[in-house]
Structure 1
Amino acid sequence: MKKRIFISFAIEDEKLRDFIVGQSKNKESPFEFIDMSVKEPWTNSWKTKCNSKIKSCDGVIAFITSKTKSANGELWEIKCSQDNNIPILFVWGYKEHLSYVPGFVNSSKIKNWKWDNIEKWIDKL
């Protein structure tokens, strides 16, 4: 059975989401992707729906990039995941690791974006 994975990212990093969604479409991929991208102003209704989606997932992959610091939606999703005790895999979005890291994220726990890192984490869920 495939794991349900919520992908959290800054909207400016939408291409990162597209890459991992492409991976999830591979018939051998161990996960399916849940999308709650914010394309309109934030509402309490969106937060309620997003919270429900996150709670229904086996885990969350959060991309950390230079855009993360101003990504209110992504920061809220990460905090929501933590509040609901949903396992989170933090992944560097790009090769340079000079990105902002939210204070509630231990930078030593952020993994490089390698399929092995993602697959091992998903297998443990």
Structure 2
Amino acid sequence: MGGGTGGGLLGSDIKGLEEKVKQRLAEAKGEVSRHVFISFDHEDLNDVNLLRGQAKNDNMDLQFDDHSVKEPYDSNNADYIKRNIREKIDRCSVTVVYLSDKSATSKWVNWEIEESLKRGKGVIGVYKGDTPPTRTPPAFQQNGCKAVSWEHATVMKAIEDASLKR
């Protein structure tokens, strides 16, 4: 006897399939947008927002989906903060560390690098100017992470390389 509701796809299943198809089509065209977590010291927020803005500009060859922390967590509970940051890192394939004097001494940036590596994520550093910084976070240096200058093609290549090597 026939009948029943059997076998149809749910709306959530269809949406998931649509996303997978869109991603595969983008990959076939070479238009993959990598999911990145940007690790930085809060005092460098203006520079990081400029980097974020450039990645959203269709006229730039810098393209990634930013899953990093936009606003500081309103909490003094380190476990709560770490749990929320871990969730964001888990959504990404690469952590981009904005290298500055402030990030070199930030315990949070250092922890985010360690956590990213522990979770199998690629990690790269980005710096402004022509010369790499002399000081970097200890975890960045100890793990031999690559630092690149803030040039669109260079940053995108480093993100892609880090994504493939993880």
TM-score category (smaller protein): 0.7 to 0.9
- Equivalent residue, structure 1, for 2:158: 121
Equivalent positions of 1:92-103 (< 5 A) are: 92-95=127-130, 97-103=132-138
Q: State the one-letter code of the partner of 1:118.
A: V
User: Partner amino acid for 2:45?
Assistant: E
Q: Is residue 2:31 matched to residue 1:8?
A: no
- Aligned with 2:67 (options 25, 30, 34): 34
TM-score w.r.t. length of structure 1: 0.83
Deviation at 1:60, TM superposition (A): 0.9
> Take 1:31 and 1:61, find their aligned partners in 2: how far apart are those partners?
11
Alpha-carbon distance between aligned partners in 2 of 1:109 and 1:68, rounded to the nearest angstrom: 15
Partner Cα distance (1:108, 1:17) in 2: 19
Structure 2 counterpart of 1:87, from 122, 126, 132: 122
Q: Describe the superposition over 1:30-82 as per-residue Cα deviations: whole angstroms up to 9, x where unpaired.
A: 31111314253442122111111101102111011111233222121111111
- Which structure has the larger Rg over C-alpha atoms? 2
Name whichever structure is richer in helix by fraction.
2
Equivalent position SS for 1:38: coil
Cα pair 1:8 1:77 within 8 Å, conserved: yes
List runs of 5+ in structure 2 lacking aligned partners: 1-22, 24-32
How far does residue 96 in structure 1 lie from its aligned partner after superposition?
A: 5.0
Whether contact under 8 Å (1:6, 1:34) holds in the other structure is yes
- The answer to whether the 8 Å contact 2:109/2:137 transfers is no
CA contact (8 A) 2:124 2:145 kept: no
Tell me: CA distance 1:13–1:34, structure 2 relative to 1, closer, same or farther (3 Å): same
- Structure 1 18/110 Cα, relative in aligned 2: closer, same or farther at 3 Å? same
CA apart distance, 1:29: 4.5
1:99 Cα offset (Å) = 4.3
Q: Which amino acid in structure 2 is aligned with residue 117 of structure 1? A: T
Match of 2:96 in 1: 61
Aligned-residue offset at 1:14: 0.6
1: CA distance, partners of 2:149 / 2:41: 17
Give TM-score scaled by structure 2 length.
Answer: 0.65
Question: 1:99 and 1:9, CA in 2 relative to 1: closer, same or farther beyond 3 A?
Answer: farther
